[in-house]
Structure formats: structure tokens, C-alpha cells
Structure 1
């Protein structure tokens, strides 16, 4: 049985990609100190989708929540499970997860970020998850109380009440994202202190966090989503095609992207929401790592909105994107021509792996 299990459940866009990059890049080092990361980043994502019974999950994947929990239970030391999608689980699903781990101690870690940065990040992530609504439509929906999914899935308060209430107060941890301009190491050290990773134990030169798209780039993606119709549905087909070949290979790579955000006309509204959130968290019994003042928006500078991107400019960006897509396709062709044997070998291995997994399922089913 695991001694302690640390559940890092989100929220999305709170530096989770950076933290996870550090964890997985140092997996072997951590195992030597008695800390297990069960499965892989993909495995934990598959297990999260299974736990939530998400409509976009792939029922044929190997990693279910029960399989991940079993791996955790078998480890005699400490375990870290980190996936920002876990925070969106229902109360019933969260209770099932905590019970299934059977550890001596379960700790819940939630990371909170100020709303001034969270609102644009949430909307961008929704577009990168195939939605087609405008930024102004989203903000209006929040103002009018028609966007509960934002509060449920992207704010520390709601996540702590669903997950944190399942464990004692001393095992609930709220980490605050440092104010803009702070080095990423600050967030890592806050997280590492909770899970008992000593300074210097992990190599921090890891891939950068998931970068945001600029105003024109995210508006282009939004319009593409609107035109896709039924093609590349969530979640796997969209990631394999649109994310891989358009978002990651082209849009993220564009230089000189124009940042966007909330207009100053909504500053008072956001500040009032932030104060209410800070008060609620101050009253909630948990261990705060960082400072609740980090959740108070700072540097409220004017920013453009994707809704206002000029059509002529968007056309230029679209043409440049097509050119870059052609270059990306050419690179893929060259790789395929240079390594035909390697590609064939990988395909054979992948097919063989699929056969082995199906045989394992049959053997387990018949052995019950």
C-alpha cells in the first residue's frame, strides 16, 4: 500500500504543463527517492477520462482509473498523480478516486491563478478543444451566470470543495500561481515543497509550458472549428490532426503574436470577483502555499480582443499559415522518404502491441 498519494488535480492553465514536464523528465530520479509517477503522462490522462466517464474517452485504451489506482496501491512509498482534468470530476467521481487509492494518506493539491489571466486562458483552451464561440460571447455568459462550467472546472474554490472535503484539512493544499513576471521555478518550488521533493533533486531545464496563441491565431482556429462540421470530433481525432498539424506545428510557432485579454472596461467586475474568491479561500480550511494576494489581479494593462481582429489581417495570417502548413507537410514527406524502414518497423510494432493488448484482455476476461 502506498504511504502517501498526492493528487494534483488542476486547475488547467495554472502552470500544470510546466510542473508535469519537470516531474516526468525526472521520473527515474524521483523513483530512486521513493516517489512513483505511475504509468505515463498519457496513461494518467486516459485514467482521468475513464474516471470522469468523459464522452470523448476512448473505451479501448489500456489505462483505466482502476488500473492506475492499482499501480499506486502496489508502491510502498509516495505516489504523485498529476492531471489538470481531474479537477472537473463530480463529487461522486472524486470520492471513488480517493477510496480506490487505499493509501495511508491522500493529499489533494489545487493550483489557483488570478481571474484576469484565467478568463482568457479558459476561453482559449475551449477553442483549442474545438469550440467556436467568440471571446465576448464567453465573457457575457460568465457575467450573466450562464457559464457554470468555468467556475466548476477552472477555479480553486469549487475544486477544493469537491475534492478537498474528502480529506482532512491538513492534507488539502492550495498553491497560488505567482504574479506575472515571476520565474517558473517559483511555482515548481511551491509544488515540490508539498510532495517532499528536495531542492536540487530535479533537473528544471525541461520543455517550456504550453504556450498561448495570439489574437489572430486563436481567431483563425476558432473560425476553422466552425467550418469543420462533423470532421475530427473530440477528442483523439481532433488532437491527432488539428492540434498536431495546425496548432502545434504552425500556429504556436508564429512569431510576433499579439496578446489579447479582457478590456479595462471590465476591470472593476474582475476585481470584485477576485476579492470574493480570495475571501472564500481564506475561510476554507486548507494549507496555502504562496500568498492569496497572488490571486488579486495585477498589471491590468489594455489588451486587444480576438473579436476585433481585422479581416484583412486575418486573411494575411491565414495565407501565411497555409504556406507554413505546406512546409510542414514537405518536412513530413522528407522524413518518410528518409526512414521508410523505420516507419514500417514502428507500424509493425504498433500493430503487434495492439494484438498483445487484445490478447491480454481476452486472457484476463477468460480467467475471471
Structure 2
């Protein structure tokens, strides 16, 4: 039976990709230290989708019950990590915690300042087949028409939904450090909660961070999604095709130099929301790792929104994307195994070359017409 189970449930866009890369690239070292990551990355994603009743995977092989059984069979500590877990309903969260008991269940939630969260969250929605504009997204949140943002993508509500199921000392809120902090700060905070000894994990192998796209590039992707319609209805096939061949291979490789954000006209609104968020989290009984002050935006700059791009900027990015995909296709073609010629085909080609060489050596008599 597992001793302790750490459920890292989100929130999305809080450095979870970085943390997960470190964990999954150090599975053996962690296992030797008595800390298990059951299955593999896809197992946690499929189990999360099963728990929430989502049809994100065409042919899933892992259920939540299978992941829980794998957890129960381990005698030490276990880490389950997927930022989609935070969006579970109260009933789904309760089922998950019950299935892992009598082990000591810990809930880990990360929080990031809203000034950075809003554009990151919208971009993530576009990279998950979304089609709405940034203005539609942020306007819906501002008018109170998109409550799912608060339910599914911020620490406040998901911490209460999951945290209320365990004692206060087993609830952990990790704040994401601000820009300019050492890259390993977030990992050190996360590892400290679980009890992973310093130096156990190789942080150099954590490549593959979730690189942000520039304004023009994400707008190109949004329009591609709109044109795709209902093709690739499941998340896994979409990621396998669009994410791999368009986003990872081409869009992420561009300079992405035109950054975007909330826009100066909404700065005061975001700052007020941040103060409300800090107050709520400060009043909630839990272990705070980091500093709630890090949730207060400090780098509020007047950057444009993607909707303010000139059409030529989007067109130029689209053309460069096509050129990039041509190069990507050429690279893939070079990796394909070349078809082997049959012995008969090789003889035919050899004979044809000999005939061709022979014809070059034969010069027609002077004045003789061959046509």
C-alpha cells in the first residue's frame, strides 16, 4: 500500500510542463528513492480524462481505476501529475481521493499571476483546437460569461474543490516565481513539498518546455483551427498531427518576436482581480510554498492584443509557415526508407544505361537524317 500520494492537479500554465519534464526524465532515480510515477505521461492524461468522463483519447488504455490500483501496489510515495485534474467536479475529485486512500493524500496546486495567465490560457485554448479571438475570450471573462476560466484554470476554486477533501496540512499551494527568477526555483518548491532530495533529479534533461508563440503565429493557428472544422475531433489525434507537424515543427521555431498581452485598457481590472485572488488564498488554510505577493503583477506593459495585428503581419506569418512546412516535409521525406529495387528492375536499369551509352558512341553518317 502506498504511504503518501501527491496529486498535482494544476493549474494549467503554471510551469507544469517544466515540472513534469523533470519528473518523467528522472523516473528511475525517483523510483530508486522510493517515489513512483505510475505508468507514463500518457497514462496520467488518459486516467484524468476517464475520471472526468472526457472523450479526448480515441483508444485509451488507462483508466483512473487502473492508475489507482498501480498506486496502491507501491510501498512508498507516489506522484500523479496532470493539470487537467483541477477541472474535475466535486464528485469526481471526491471519487479520486477515496480511490487512493487509506494512503495519505496530498493536493498540490500551483498559482500564477493573472497578467501572465490570461494570454497564456487563451493561447493554450487555441493550441487545443480553440477558434475564438483573444478579445472574445478576455471579454467573456470580464463580463462574467466565462466562469469556467475561474473553475478550471485558477488555483482559488480548484484548491477548495480538492483541498477540502484532505486535512489542511495536506493541501499545498505553490506560487510561480516572477520573471527573472532562477529557472529551478519552481522545481525546488515542488520537490520540497514531495520530499525529493536536492540533487536527486537531473534538471538538465528537462528540455521541451511549452514554448509560447508570438501574436502572428498563434493567430495563424487559430485560423487554421477554424478552417479544420470538426476534423481531428479527439485531442490525441489533433496533437499528433497539428501539434507535431505545425506547432512544434514550424511555429515554435520562428522568432515569435511580436509578443501580446491583455492590453493597457484592462490593466486596472487585472490588478484588482489579483488583489482579490491573493486575499482569498491568504484566508484559505493550506501550506503556502513561495510568496502570495508573486501573484501581484509587476511587469504590466502596454503590449498589443492579437486582434490588433495588421492583416499583412498575419499574411506574412502564414506564408513563412507554409515555407517552414515545406522544409519540414522535405526532412520527413529524407527519413523515409527508400524502396528496394527487385533484381529484375536492377537488370533493366543496367541494360538501359548500357544502351544509352552505346547510342552516344554511334555517330550517324554525315548528311544522314534520323527523323
Normalised TM-score (structure 2): 0.89
Deviation per CA, 1:159-206, whole angstroms, max 9, x where unpaired? 111100000000000000001111220000000000001111111012
Is this contact kept in 1: 2:213–2:256, CA < 8 A?
Answer: no
Separation in 1, partners of 2:237, 2:42? 15
My pick for the range that moved more, 3-12 or 223-232, is 223-232
Deviation per CA, 1:94-135, whole angstroms, max 9, x where unpaired? 111111112430000000000000000111011111111111
Separation in 2, partners of 1:126, 1:313? 22
35 and 338 in structure 1: CA distance in 2 versus 1, 3 angstrom threshold: farther
- When you count helix as a share of all residues, which structure comes out higher? 1
What's the counterpart of residue 132 of structure 2?
133
Q: Structure 2: which 5+ runs fail to align?
A: 341-371
SS in 2 for 1:159: helix
Shift of 1:208: 4.0
Separation in 2, partners of 1:232, 1:38? 29
Shift of 1:209: 1.7
Q: Structure 1: which 5+ runs fail to align?
A: 341-368
Deviation per CA, 1:216-255, whole angstroms, max 9, x where unpaired? 0000111111111222223122112111111111001112
What's the counterpart of residue 359 of structure 1?
none
Structure 1 segments (4+ residues) deviating >4 Å: none
Shift of 1:55: 3.3
36 and 339 in structure 1: CA distance in 2 versus 1, 3 angstrom threshold: farther
Deviation per CA, 1:42-86, whole angstroms, max 9, x where unpaired? 11111111111013343x321111000000000000000011111
What's the counterpart of residue 90 of structure 1?
89
Is this contact kept in 2: 1:216–1:257, CA < 8 A?
Answer: no
Separation in 2, partners of 1:290, 1:37? 25
What's the counterpart of residue 198 of structure 2?
199
Shift of 1:338: 5.8
Separation in 1, partners of 2:123, 2:289? 27
SS in 2 for 1:262: coil
Separation in 1, partners of 2:338, 2:303? 46
Separation in 2, partners of 1:94, 1:246? 35
What's the counterpart of residue 189 of structure 1?
188
Is this contact kept in 2: 1:220–1:314, CA < 8 A?
Answer: yes
Shift of 1:337: 2.5
Larger radius of gyration: 2
Is this contact kept in 1: 2:215–2:256, CA < 8 A?
Answer: no
What's the counterpart of residue 348 of structure 2?
none
My pick for the range that moved more, 303-312 or 212-221, is 303-312
What's the counterpart of residue 285 of structure 1?
285
